[in-house]
Amino acid sequence: MVRHRALKDKDIEDLLAQLEGGEISEDDAESDGDDLEFYPTLEELQAALEEDEAEEEPASTTEEENLIQEPDFAAVFPDPPLLNEDMPSTGMQDPFIPINAQNLRWRKATFPFCENQIKFKGVTAYPPEIMNLQTPYQFFSYFFTPDMMDKIVNETNLYSVQKKNQNARLLLMTDVRKYFGILIFMSVFHYPSVRSYWDTKYGFEPIKQTMPVNRFEKIREIIHFNNNQQHKPMTHPEHDRLHKLRPVIDHLNEKFSSVPMEQRLSIDEQMCATKIGHFMKQYLPNKPHKWGFKLFVLCSLSGYAYRFIIYSGKDLEPLQPGEADVGVVGNTVIKLSRGIPWKVNHIVYFDNYYTSLPLMYYMAKEGILCLGTVQRNRLGKNCKLPTKPQVMARSVPRGSFDEYITTHDEIDMTAVSWKDNKQVILLSTYVGATPVGTIERYDKNEKTKKPITAQKLLVNITLTWAVSI
C-alpha cells in the first residue's frame, strides 16, 4: 500500500485527488472508541465506577418533554461587541464551569444557523509596514529583523569564544545574511549533499560565488541563537529543552502574529522533516513526511502560520490567569489561540485529536466559534448518536445524518453523525447539520461519482485542513 512507503509528489497529488473525490476518506475523520466511555478526569472515572452496574430505566417523560426543543438563538449567537483597541485579545470574561460529559442532557434537535450571526467583525486591513513590503528580501527582513540578526551574530561569536577556538574569525552581519541565503537556495534546489553545491563541474554557481564551502561549514558548526551558559540543567525544574532555539521561536511567533488574522483558522500538527537522530523526533504515519520534529500550528485558510509550538515532550509554559485547564492537548489549542481576538466571530477548525466538550465550551466563552471531528465516547453516555455498526449498516444510505444538541452554562453545542466512507462525527458551537447540500462521492458499485447529502460547511473544514496544514 502507498501509506507504507515514502510518498512521492505524484502519490500525494493522487491521494489528495481521491480524498477530494470521495474515493477514500481521511483516517483522522473516523470516530473510534465506541465501546469505551471517556472520562476527562480521575474524579469522574471514580464516580462512574461507584455507580450501580445495572442502569435504572429512565422515568417516563411527559408529552411536553418529548417535543423537540429548539435552543435559544440568542444564547447560541450573542451579539459581538465592536472591536476596540483597548479590548484585551484574550482572557475569559465569564467564569469557567467544569463540564461532566456523563451528566449532560442531549436532545434531538436542529441547531439554528444564520449567516449574519457569524459575520466577521475583526480587523482585515494589513498595517502599512506590511503593505509597503515589495521584494522577497523585504519580506524576509520583516520577519528576521536587524535586531534578531544582530543577536544571532553576537550569540555565535560568544559561542566561538566559549569554545576557545583559536582560528575562529569574527562573524559579521554580512556572513549571516549570506549563510541564510545559501540555506534558502538549498531548500529550493536539491543536491545529493551539501558539498555537491560547490562541485567544480556541477556545482550551483550562485552559492559558489557567495561563500567558500569551508566558510559555510564553519558557520554551520558554530552558529548559535542563545547563550549556552544560561541553559539550566536537566535536573532543574525550569529546564527548557528548546533553550537554544527559544529566542528564535518567541521572535517568529511575535512577528507571525502581527499579521491580521483571517476569520477561518485551523489547528493541526505539522512535521519538520529531518533524518538526524534526536530524542524529540516523532513519527506520524498519516503525514507526507512521517519522521521529524512535530509542530502544533495555527494557520489561516490560505496556509499562513500565525503561531506555532514545537513539541518537546515536556511543556513548561503555564496557563495564563483566566485560562481553563482542559487537558494537555486542549491546553495546546488554548495557547495557540491566545492571539485570536475574542467575540469577533473567528472560527477555528481541528480534528478529533483536540476536540472535547470542555475545550469547545471554553472557546465559546472566549467568543471563538469552533468545529471539529470528535470521538463518540467523548460526548458522554447520554448522547444517543448512532454507533458505528448502526451507521455503517447497508440499510443506511450514504449521506444520512443525525443531530443532537446539549447546553452547558447557556452555551449550546451540537453533535452530528454523518455517514461517508466511514462514520464522521462533528462537534460545533456555531453550526449543525443544516444548511444541507450535496457533495459528490465515488460509488464503488456503479464505478462513478454520485451526489449525496452533506452539511455544506463540512466541505469547508476538509478544505481548511488540506490547504493550511
The percent of residues in the chain predicted with pLDDT above 90, rounded, is 48
The three cell numbers locating residue 175: 556572513
Q: Which of 139, 127, 380, 148 is nearest to 252 (CA)?
A: 148
390 burial class (0-12, 13-18, 19+ CB within 10 angstroms)? middle
The upper half-sphere exposure of residue 160, i.e. CA atoms within 13 Å in the direction of its Cβ, equals: 19
- Tell whether pTM > 0.85: no
Q: Residue 93 has what pLDDT? A: 56
DSSP labels for 86-146?
Answer: TS-SSS-SS------GGG--EEE------GGGG---S--SPPHHHHT--SHHHHHHHHS-H
Is 52's pLDDT higher than 50? no
* pLDDT score of 414: 94
The CA-based dihedral angle spanning residues 59, 61, 66, 72, taken in that order and rounded to the nearest 10 degrees: -90
- Coil/strand/helix, residue 11: helix
- Asked whether 221 and 125 are in contact (CB, 8 A), the reply is no
Cis status of the peptide bond prior to 435, with omega within 30 of 0 = yes
Task: Output the pLDDT for position 16.
Answer: 57
Structural domain boundaries of the chain? Answer: 6-38+341-468, 131-228
- Mean pLDDT is highest, among 34-38, 58-62, 83-87, 172-176, for 172-176
pLDDT in tens, 73-118: 344 444 444 433 334 444 445 677 888 888 899 999 988 888 888 8
For 61, phi and psi rounded to 5 degrees? Answer: -100, 155
DSSP 387: P
Is residue 9 classed as helix, strand or coil in its secondary structure? helix
Q: Answer yes or no: are the C-beta atoms of 292 and 326 closer than 8 Å.
A: no
Mean pLDDT calculated for residue range 421-430: 91
For residues 377 and 37, the answer to whether their CB atoms sit within 8 Å is: yes
Q: How many residues does the chain have?
A: 469
Query: Residue 450, SS3?
Result: strand
Is the distance from CB of 390 to CB of 396 less than 8 angstroms?
yes
Q: How many CB atoms lie within 10 A of CB 297?
A: 19
Q: Which of 43, 32, 33 is nearest to 100 (CA)?
A: 43
Average pLDDT score, the chain: 80
| DSSP output for 137-201 | HHHHHHHS-HHHHHHHHHHHHHHHHHTT-TTPPPP-HHHHHHHHHHHHHHHHS--SSSGGGG-TT
Q: What is the rounded distance in angstroms from the CA atom of residue 216 to the CA atom of residue 260?
A: 37
Query: pLDDT by residue (tens digit) across 201-220?
Result: 999 999 999 999 999 999 99
Report the alpha-carbon distance of residue 128 to residue 138 in Å, rounded: 13
